[in-house]
Amino acid sequence: MFTVLFLNQKGGVGKTTLADELSFALERRGFTVAFVSTDPQGGSVHEVCTDPDVAEGCDFQIVDTAGVLNDAVSDWCCAADVILIPMLPSTRDMEPTMRTYGIAKDSGTDAAIYLLVNNFYAFGKLDKQLVEFLEAERIPIIGKVPRAVAFAQAAAAGKSVAEYDPYSHAVPAIEKLADSIIEEKEKKHA
């Protein structure tokens, strides 16, 4: 079992959406996925797996968390193989995201920790500045996911964006994220 933890103290950055989409993308490739959530509000398309033994038997455990950080966060960070911190390209997201990054780092985890820029617009000024800032700070970015209404429409239909709208510009970004996560898994078991 390879565990991917979605974390950000900031609400509404896409933790649940991207956890769902990554799970769908891995399932499309034939992997078994346990979708786990620490968020009592839920909201995922995937049914939440509550049996740790079932999760243990899966190829991947994808963990969605709530937009608050509590005592369990450190334990989840230590249990993770990869920690993904989705963020929006907005100055308001910077501080909570950096705090979340610090908490993940300070947990003592061996996991690789990456930012995942969501709602990314390649021609946006703030978007460009954000990427430059993160690169200057040597904070690794695993991917950039564009803004696409198809994400919400797909979730409302109980589907992945690839199934709902195969031609959406969001699909390649999700596929690339799945590739990167599979690479991380292979690196770990190499």
Ligand X SMILES: Nc1ncnc2c1ncn2[C@@H]1O[C@H](COP(=O)(O)OP(=O)(O)OP(=O)(O)O)[C@@H](O)[C@H]1O
Q: Would you say 13 or 55 has its CB closer to ligand X? A: 13
The Cα–Cα gap between 155 and 121 comes to 21
- Burial level of 36, CB count in 10 A (0-12/13-18/19+)? buried
Q: What residue 158 binds from Mg ion, ligand X, none (CB within 5 to 8 A, per partner kind)?
A: none
Options 10-18, 49-57, 81-89, 114-122: segment touching Mg ion (CB under 5 A):
10-18
Whichever of 33 and 155 has its CB closer to Mg ion, that residue is 155
Residue number of the CB atom closest to ligand X = 67
Q: Between 16 and 160, name the residue whose CB sits nearer to Mg ion.
A: 16
Give the footprint of ligand X on residues 36-55 (CB under 6 A).
39, 43
Tokens (6 digits) for 5: 């933890």
Q: Is 38 helix (H, G, I), strand (E, B) or coil?
A: coil
8 A C-beta contact, residue 80 and residue 7 = no
151 binds, among Mg ion, ligand X, none (CB under 5 to 8 A by kind): ligand X
Report the residue from 8, 9, 16, 97 that binds Mg ion according to the rule CB under 5 A.
16
Q: Total residues contacting Mg ion (rule CB under 5 A)?
A: 2
168 near Mg ion, judged by CB under 5 A = no
Q: Which two tokens stand for residue 151?
A: 């994400």
Among candidate residues 91, 149, 95, 85, the one with its CA nearest the CA of residue 117 = 85
Q: Which residues 140-179 are close enough to bind ligand X by CB under 6 A?
A: 145, 147-148, 151-152, 155
Cα–Cα distances in angstroms (integers) from residue 51 to residues 35, 36, 44, 78, 137, in the given order: 10, 9, 17, 19, 39
How far is 136 from 162, CA to CA, in rounded Å? 33
CB of 41 to Mg ion, least distance (A): 7
Q: Does 13 bind ligand X (CB under 6 A)?
A: yes
The residues that touch ligand X, with contacts defined as CB under 6 A, are 11-17, 39, 43, 66-67, 118-119, 145, 147-148, 151-152, 155
